[in-house]
Amino acid sequence: MVEIRALVLAIDRDDDFGQKAGVEGPVIGRDACIDAALKLSLADPEDSDANVVYAAVKLYDELKGSGEFDEVEVALITGHPKVGVKSDLELSRQLDEVLQRFPADGVITVTDGAEDEQIFPIITSKVSIISSHRVVVKQSEGIETTYYIIYRYLREILSDPEVAKVVLGIPGMILLLYGIARLIGVWYPESVKIVSATITGTILLFIGGYFFTKGFRFNFRETLAKQFIFVISIVAGLLIISGGAINAYLSLEEYSKELIGGWPGTPLLATLIYINALSSSLTLGISVMIMGKIVQAYLRKDHHIWYYISTLLIMPALWVTIDLTTRYAMAILTISDIEVFTKLLLAFVDVAIAVLVGIYLRGKVRGWERIEAGTGT
């Protein structure tokens, strides 16, 4: 006999017991676990979580009969339908309650899949895991048909909103947009290529944006609510830059005549002229974005406001840098020109002022950091 108090622990991370059978966790003891499993089996005979509890009770009986451990107990902990932080916090709380009533030296986990096993780090932070058992439910040959399996898993997909968005929502959107494109192509055959390119671009933009937000855990609604002013300033800045880009493209010929006295002879020269023409709108658009960040930082008492203000003050130096480098690349100016010296001097003065203002403001807003820390506590 090993002098260890062993706990056989069944895990239901998404709280099917609570949602379907009205069972509140934790459930401790053989009879209580069997009663909970019976309730879930009657509520939903196809739910595998009931079999997990039955397997845990069976393992408990085997360990109890073999006398392998000093003491053995069986328990069930349930999480929350919103799987993630909320469910894991609830599982951690219930595990603490179980360990208070039965201070186990080790845990034998019983689960039905990888999702429940994601809480193993939480368990090991409180008590060591002796062993882990995964329950795989066998199906009879009579019902294990292709139709039944597809129907069952489609129903599970539809019951999970997040999975349904990816598995059904994105393909559905693709089919819908291509259906619209085909109809437009029938009505207006001459616009088939334009419509096809537009639909393809829309699909790629939507899918790419969805994967980007999920990959970087970017919540658009939360960001919009917390940083509304900054979002509006970004939209305004992008509109200014876009408008400047279009204007620079349409006015490229006139701007070329003004700079070099004629039409640019090479694509490289045309690109340099275009960048020079765009520099003012680009600098103004970025400045609008930074101004939005400054306003938001002031309203939220963000102590990083000194950094944003310094960045805004450096914007004239950025414009001068773009203007001089593009003109120098086009051989319009030389290093020895007085205009180059004057603009470079102004750029250096601008950077120096931005640095000094930043240093001054950094000392003035240090109290904001303390206010923010006090508010958080």
User: pLDDT tens digits for 237-251?
Assistant: 999 999 999 988 888
Both 234 and 354 in one domain: the answer is yes
- Give pLDDT tens digits for 49-94: 899 999 999 999 999 888 888 889 999 999 998 888 888 999 999 9
Q: Is residue 329 situated within a structural domain?
A: yes
Indicate whether 146 belongs to any domain.
no
pLDDT of residue 196: 72
Q: Do residues 272 and 303 share a domain?
A: yes
Q: Read off φ and ψ for residue 270, nearest 5 degrees.
A: -65, -40
In a domain, 41, yes or no: yes
Q: Which of 138, 24, 46 is nearest to 35 (CA)?
A: 24
Residues 226, 178: one domain? no
Domain final residue pick, 134, 152, 178: 134
Question: Do 171 and 105 belong to one domain?
Answer: no
- Residues in Cβ contact with 333 at an 8 Å cutoff, skipping those fewer than 6 apart: 324, 327, 339, 340
Q: Quick one: 81 and 178 in the same domain?
A: no
**What CA–CA distance (Å, rounded) separates 9 from 133?**
10
Residue 144 belongs to a domain: no
Q: State the Cα angle at 140 between 131 and 147, rounded to 5°.
A: 110
One-letter amino acid at 56 equals A
Question: What is d(CA 129, CA 106) in angstroms, rounded to the nearest whole number?
Answer: 5
For residues 194 and 120, membership in a common domain is answered with no
Task: Looking at the structure, tell me whether residues 244 and 350 fall in a common domain.
Answer: yes
165-201 per-position pLDDT tens digit: 667 677 777 777 777 777 777 776 766 677 677 777 7
Residue 370, in any domain of the structure = yes
Mean pLDDT value of segment 97-118: 87
pLDDT computed for residue 353 by the predictor: 93
Task: Dump pLDDT digits (tens) for 10-51.
Answer: 999 888 999 999 999 899 999 999 999 999 999 988 788 899
Domain limit, last residue, from 195, 215, 235: 215
Residue 7 structure tokens:
């706990």
In a domain, 145, yes or no: no
236 is a domain residue: yes
Total domain count for the chain?
3
Do the beta carbons of residue 334 and residue 287 sit within 8 Å? Answer: no
pLDDT at 338 > cutoff 60: yes
Per the domain annotation, does 49 fall within a domain?
A: yes
pLDDT of residue 133: 87
* pLDDT value at residue 258: 82
The answer to whether the CB of 285 falls within 8 A of the CB of 244 is yes
List of residues 6+ apart from 377 with CB closer than 8 A: none
**What is the model's pLDDT at position 317?**
93
192-223 CB burial, b ≥16 within 10 A, e <16: eeebeeebeeebeeeeeeeeeeeeeeeeeeee
Is residue 66 domain-shared with residue 114, that is, in the same domain? yes
Are 126 and 168 within one domain?
no
231 and 195 inside one domain: no
Which two tokens mark 299? 């309203």
Q: Which domain holds residue 69?
A: 2-134
Of 2, 1, 7, which Cα lies nearest the Cα of 131? 7
Burial of 123 (0-12, 13-18, 19+ CB in 10 A): buried
Residue 287 scores a pLDDT above 90: yes
On whether both 356 and 327 belong to a single domain, the answer is: yes
